[in-house]
Structure 1
């Protein structure tokens, strides 16, 4: 890596830390209809969740990112489920302020070094952490968190990777939220429990807001 790339990676670590401090809980959103985009984001924000990971798991992901960046500039909007360089370029063009991947490849990690916005790579093993570490990554998403060892894995990674912090996602909910957040190497968590499909389908945005507010309250 060049000195310029090393500095960019240091800057991105700081950006992710700022994101995590603001988010604490990062809702992982799948948009199934264009009409859901703004009311869902507004409900989450009203409940205190103002940093959003909009996934590319549906055809509306890119549209949602662009719409939210244009019409809800006060929110911090990132892209999730980014799998390759083509997707990475598309979400950056749409205005994503950060990028999250479910796993990592050497190619995606290298692409993230020169990406203008910070990349949070998904990992589930020490070897994957080492791949990212060699390129300057110090912040990772543990996914799927519960399947990959949960809090026990987070604790174990803390030994060899003392300067690494994680955003566990996958199986995180109100019953284990505080256990994760109590770990010194956890910076925030990702979750979907406040995004009940039945609520969204019925337009029950008040329930989304209430669930979000209750989750924030659990953190104290």
Structure 2
């Protein structure tokens, strides 16, 4: 089994984990972000120092590639690409929503629920989401949705769906159904990338380090400056 360094920065959470031969040997995360620009480099340095002490180095880097925070994804992917260039190792890209679902799919008390719907906040009533079965296969593709009472009408009721992620909280009042379950405090974590990254490594599922870009799903829209003096200077 390979040694893989996993980086996750798609939401306000910053996390890094390392697996060696299927074992988690390093894990660090901060949930009170966003502080990726400050913390990510420190977490990676600590992980690399631990590996050097054991005469090890990563065989690959896995990164959460989106959808999610534009700034967070840029920071995470830039760090991952820099490591891959410097160490001459391959890059694995993993969907942020699927990373969340990978953790939830292992929960034993959800047997009665057939579909998983991870959601990442995309401002106002819009979320990035995907519908997956318990094997993490897509039932409905990744999309940016404005949630209303008719969202998931073709699925919710016919299927029992688990909703989770930082976009699910604002949907509770809208998606009212006995077939819906909302889980709190679920977010993408580097720890939940490990199994997915090892599968990708075994399959040789790598991306081009030079040309790879995060999966933003939507174009970045900059917020207009409120201070007219600053705006004029810009």
TM-score of the superposed pair, with normalisation by structure 2: 0.26
More strand by share: 2
Structure (1 or 2) with the greater helix fraction: 1
Larger radius of gyration: 2
TM-score with structure 1 length normalisation? 0.27
